Amino acid sequence: MFSKEVELADSMQTLFRGNSLASKIMTFCFKVYGATYLQKLLEPLLRVIIMAPEWQHVSFEVDSTRFEVLF
């Protein structure tokens, strides 16, 4: 299926950009397996940062208007 998609693509820039079954399957797999991979990779690192006492009173808010309300 994917080899046919590559074969029929007009250019490299449009590869898997259409609404084909191959692109839908690829999107689904990236969401399911990619999210699990990222969680397994990043969760232990972020947990150490979040739980460290020196980070307990630090805000990670990026919206400055919300930051002012919190503190």
Domain that holds residue 38: 19-70
What's the domain count of the chain? 1
Q: How confident is the model at residue 68 (pLDDT cuts 50, 70, 90)?
A: low
Q: Is the residue at 56 inside a domain?
A: yes
Q: Where are the alpha helices (DSSP H) in the chain?
A: 2-8, 21-51, 64-70
Three-class SS of residue 54?
Answer: helix
Q: Is the residue at 30 inside a domain?
A: yes
pLDDT in tens, 16-44: 666 777 778 888 888 989 999 999 999 99
Q: How far apart are CA 62 and CA 12, in angstroms?
A: 36
Q: Is the residue at 28 inside a domain?
A: yes
Give the tokens for residue 34: 């990619």
